[in-house]
Amino acid sequence: MTGDSPYLFYQSRNPRPYLDRGEGIYLYDESGKRYIDGSSGAMVSNIGHSNPRVLAKMKAQMDKATFGYRLHFRTHPSEDLAAKTVSMCPQGLDRVFFVSGGSEAVESAVKLARQYAVATGQGTRYRVISRFPSYHGCTFGALDLTGYEPLRAPFAPMMEGMPKITAPTTYLDRDTLTEEERGFRYAELLREQIEEAGPETVLAFLMEPVGGASTGALVAPDSYYQRTREICEEYGVLLIYDEVMTGAGRTGKFLAAEHWGITPDIVALSKGFGAGYAPLGAIVASSRIVEPVLDAGGFQHGFTYAGNPLACSAGLAVLEELEEQNLIENAARMGDVLKARLEGLMSRYQFIGDVRGKGLLLAFELVADRSTMEPLPRELNAYTRLVEIAYEQGLIIYSRRTRGGYEGDHFLICPPLIVTKAQIEEIMNLLEASLSRFA
């Protein structure tokens, strides 16, 4: 099927059919087989496939100009998208910088933070503390901030080795501490790391508010969000939220940060922001950070495709669709329905150890023993086996085996935010059939 293709991609080891077309939450291969896109690809296709408004808006832009370099022209799509983005973010996040993907967004956020420090006489600050496990991207800068051993290992000697603290993964200390105590305890790791590194060297703390591929929709105790924000303020450390996966409505708010009333200093967006219609990402920051950088001569950073009018026209239509179809509210409501249905599986399948997440960023984890949360043996390859069984049945889900911090097979169930109750039943029927075959 694909063995003769020169395209270096996973297909060579794991043949997949050719994609033909998409419609709503469904994808079709060239044989006509239908799949439910139960993970929105890689948590990207938030408004579903072939959305007519987005396609029309992109077509209209294509008929005018597909590219105009940002130093040569202003464009309406980029300025309109920036204004729309700010209007949907919490107050205080009022400046936008465009990029073409998540890794670029994370690196841009970090570079903006660093330039802010330099511009405000804090040039000794350069360390960015992140967490283990975590995922922030594959380019060198983002990878150095990523806590996922298999991706880091080959490149370890080539990276600075930025400090990392343990994320409050679901299982750690849950039998001995209350939720609130767990949150405080894991937040204190940030303070300890700042002290150890030397507070005058610490630039920023970077975290995913709800874990994605790294931890399978891990949500920290509420107290963790508040306390980490306080610690950052205490030490003058900038707080960067990586909302590449959680942003643009996936968790039932435009930013996941809103669930805890947190306004980070800088936020990274991608995935659902372009929703699969164009490679698009952004950082959103407060003027407090941006103004000193502009006063000092401007942001010494930028990518050729940044803010191009075609991608921005897609992004603008995506945000309009989110707003006008109330898709963020739908993510919250359907997320509750889907989560309850997933939790219902736990009485039938003892090997489901945990169901977690927010909105439509949901996951379950498979374990050998629920009482001890012992993981399934690695050799079982549960995380690939269940995905393959589901794929055969026509259900696409996303899985990883977390390594680092703790080990476990988790499965993300993250349909597009347009999903209906009836479609959730379709997903559950296929998932149950897959779990029965897996058992």
Q: How many Cβ atoms from other residues are within 10 Å of residue 52's Cβ? A: 9
In the block, which residue shows the tokens 């891990």?
218
Helix axes 327-344 and 421-438, enclosed angle (nearest 10): 30
Closest approach, Cβ 63 to ligand PLP, in A, equals 28
Cβ nearer to ligand PLP, comparing 268 with 424: 268
Q: Distance between CA atoms of 116 and 85, rounded to whole angstroms?
A: 22
Closest approach, Cβ 398 to ligand PLP, in A, equals 10
Closest approach, Cβ 139 to ligand PLP, in A, equals 7
**Residue at 74: amino acid letter:** R
Closest approach, Cβ 272 to ligand PLP, in A, equals 11
Which value, in Å, is the radius of gyration of the alpha carbons in the chain?
21
Pairing state between β 127-132 and 164-166: parallel
Q: Distance between CA atoms of 438 and 385, rounded to whole angstroms?
A: 8
Cβ nearer to ligand PLP, comparing 247 with 252: 247
Cβ nearer to ligand PLP, comparing 213 with 293: 213
Closest approach, Cβ 100 to ligand PLP, in A, equals 8
Peptide linkage before 133 cis (omega within 30 of 0): yes
Cβ nearer to ligand PLP, comparing 168 with 394: 168
- Residue number with the smallest Cβ distance to ligand PLP: 102
Q: Do residues 240 and 264 lie in contact, with contact meaning Cβ atoms separated by under 8 Å?
A: yes
Q: Distance between CA atoms of 160 and 126, rounded to whole angstroms?
A: 11
Tell me the three state secondary structure of residue 217: coil
Cβ nearer to ligand PLP, comparing 148 with 406: 148
Pairing state between β 95-99 and 281-285: antiparallel
Cβ nearer to ligand PLP, comparing 360 with 430: 360
Of 35, 67, 95, 80, the C-alpha closest to 318 is 80
Cβ nearer to ligand PLP, comparing 270 with 434: 270
Would you state the structure tokens that stand for residue 76, as one six-digit string? 């309406």
Closest approach, Cβ 271 to ligand PLP, in A, equals 7
Report residue 2 CA to chain centroid gap.
30
Closest approach, Cβ 392 to ligand PLP, in A, equals 25
Cβ nearer to ligand PLP, comparing 357 with 394: 357
Q: Distance between CA atoms of 242 and 268, rounded to whole angstroms?
A: 5
Would you state the structure tokens that stand for residue 434, as one six-digit string? 């897959």
Closest approach, Cβ 368 to ligand PLP, in A, equals 27
Closest approach, Cβ 65 to ligand PLP, in A, equals 25
Closest approach, Cβ 326 to ligand PLP, in A, equals 25
Cβ nearer to ligand PLP, comparing 245 with 255: 245
Cβ nearer to ligand PLP, comparing 24 with 133: 133
**Residue at 160: amino acid letter:** E
- Measured between alpha carbons, how far is residue 353 from residues 362, 382, 399 in Å? 14, 13, 15
Cβ nearer to ligand PLP, comparing 213 with 431: 213
Pairing state between β 127-132 and 202-207: parallel
Positions touching ligand PLP (CB under 6 A) are 42, 101-103, 106, 135-137, 208, 212-213, 242, 244-245, 270
Closest approach, Cβ 313 to ligand PLP, in A, equals 20
Q: How many Cβ atoms from other residues are within 10 Å of residue 104's Cβ? A: 26
Q: Where is 355: in which H helix or E strand?
A: strand 352-358
In this structure, the dihedral spanned by the alpha carbons of residues 140, 145, 146 and 151, taken in order and rounded to 10 degrees, is 30
